[in-house]
Amino acid sequence: MATEESASVMDDYETLISTTDVELLKRAWRNEKAAPEILQFESSLVQRIKEQIELAEQNVEISEANNIDPLTVSLYQMDLDRTQFLLRSYLRVRLQKIEKYLFYVLKTDEYLNRLSKQEQMFARRCTDDLGSHLDETVLAKLPDNYQSILKQSITSEEDDMVPVPRLDTFVICKAKQYLSGLDFEPEYRTVLSFLLCPLRINFVTECPSLLLQTETSWVFGTLRKYSASSRIVLICAFLAIVFLLPNGLSVA
Amino acid sequence: MAGQSDSNMSLFSPGEIEFMAGDELVEIVPNLRMNSLYFIRGDYGPFHPQLAAQVPLWLAVALKKRGKCTIRPPQWMSIENLAQVLELERDSHAFQPLPFHYLEISRLLFDHAREDIPDMYMVRSLTEDIRDVRFHKVETNLEKFTASTVTWKNMSAMEVNIIRAFAGRALQAFYKHDNEQQAPDTDRMLDKQPQIPTDRPKRNLKPR
């Protein structure tokens, strides 16, 4: 951990494997909070974190039973609390997003596939409940043409009452390295991924190497509707972020 | 559903930013002996009296609260460094490099480890001055916010967080209105309409 922080990171593979799951979860949480749409559920990461939390809980219980130094136990408890907070917050942000874009998520396979099994169940039940509630309270009392939960009226060709995440929006990113003006002509279809702290910025045209410099910039840019190709870049970027974590600036 | 406000969803609360800052490493000098701690987020220790150790800030604060250690303020929190940063900060438009979580770290240390910071009052007032100068800079920078892409160097977590929602919406508005102008016309048509203020620089970037 200490070496990761202090030494400039040379080998991204090493960084990748030495990054703790908590860091990964923190990044997932941050990204999830900052992204306009729902991101892929980090199922294996969440699974690992859950196991570690359970293990830590058992340890705390055993330590308490064995009269181990209460100070140590309370520190373990704090570490546990912080991790649990992250996990809960992560799951909660996702639930909020699912609720917000409920109908859209359900009818778009791409989004639906990003949810975990439980989230899919939640989304379906939520839709059913919301649908029947709206039917009972409002829709059934409206004229026949206006009873759809998805459409303004029967004449609408598309589902125009469904909130859709705004992908064509602005996000704030932290750059891993100093970016010169050249990189940011919108014509190049800059792909910015959203996130707050660990930033990932990549360009479809040229994917910068994983060079890390001390300089960082904040970039406010347009997240154009990203294309299939940009997704690939996003994935590389995901890996690249590891560098900056957790504290961007202070990495030497 | 459409009217539901999501103001707190995509934003980080100051508390959450502080939570993140809690993982920054600081140096402590423990006054007790304690075995290594094998946390979910990594291993720390073992701790020996009078031997400095690197721990995350939250752990340092927890130990400090129980009187089990002293915290060594980070290098950048020295009066000399802060005074220099403040001076540069005042002289230039650019942001000086400071730790990403400088505000949160200094605040936590002021709150919980005041006796560990030499010249606490001076350090505190310098930090506050720096913060004020920088926030003012953020505000003035916002006035120049016209391009679709802007970069600012060395902003800290808290500073970014404060303007996140506003900057996002403002840029959104710029973007939207730009597109409205362009929507009915091709780019060529746009050139023929001098009444449209197009003082936007061609290069949409302001390197700072």
B148·A221 Cβ contact <8 A: yes
Give CA separation, A232 vs A92, A237, B37, in Å: 27, 9, 39
Q: Which of A75, A175, A185 sits opposite B204 (nearest CB)?
A: A185
Kindly provide the ipTM of the predicted complex, given to two decimals: 0.77
Residues of chain A in contact with residue B34, where contact means CB-CB under 8 angstroms, are 69, 71-72
A181·B11 Cβ contact <8 A: no
B1·A102 Cβ contact <8 A: yes
Residues B143-175 as b/e (b if ≥16 CB within 10 A, e otherwise) read eeeebbbbbbbbbbbbbbbbbbeebbebbeebb
What token pair was written down for B82?
């802060």
Most confident of A182-196, A199-213, B1-15: B1-15
Q: What is the pTM of this model?
A: 0.74
How many angstroms from the chain centroid is the CA of residue A146? 36
Q: How much is the pLDDT for B182?
A: 57
Residue B82 has pLDDT above 50, yes or no: yes
User: ∠ CA B98-A201-B56 to the nearest 5 degrees?
Assistant: 40
CA atoms within 13 Å, Cβ hemisphere of A44: 0
Q: Mutating which of B26, B57, B205 best tests the A interface, going by the most A Cβ atoms within 10 A?
A: B205
Q: How much is the pLDDT for A243?
A: 28
User: B204 in helix, strand or coil?
Assistant: coil
DSSP string across A185-211? -GGG-EEE---SSS--EEESS----S-
Q: How much is the pLDDT for A34?
A: 77
Give CA separation, B101 vs A219, B139, B158, in Å: 18, 19, 7
Backbone angles phi, psi at B61, to 5 degrees: -65, -40
More confident residue, B23 or A176: B23
B100·A185 Cβ contact <8 A: no
pLDDT digits (tens, 9 = 90+) for A46-81: 999 999 999 999 999 998 898 888 899 999 999 999
Tell me the three-class secondary structure of B10-65, residue by residue: CCCCHHHHHHHHCCCEEEEEECCCECCEEECCEEECCECCCCCEEEEHHHHHHHHH
Helix (H) / strand (E) element for A27: namely: helix A21-34
Query: Which whole number is the average pLDDT over A128-156?
Result: 88
Helices (H) and strands (E) in chain A, counts: 9, 4
Residue A44 has pLDDT above 70, yes or no: yes
- Burial class for B77, CB neighbours closer than 10 Å (0-12, 13-18, 19+): buried
User: B4 in helix, strand or coil?
Assistant: coil
Task: Count how many residues are written for chain A.
Answer: 252
Taking each helix axis from N to C terminus, what angle separates B120-143 and B157-182, rounded to the nearest 10 degrees?
0
B157·A76 Cβ contact <8 A: no
Q: How much is the pLDDT for B181?
A: 62
Q: How much is the pLDDT for B83?
A: 95
* Cβ-Cβ contacts under 8 Å for A104 (sequence gap 6 or more): A111, A162, A163, A164, A165
Q: How much is the pLDDT for A184?
A: 41
More confident residue, B107 or B160: B107
Distance CA A230, CA B204 (A): 21
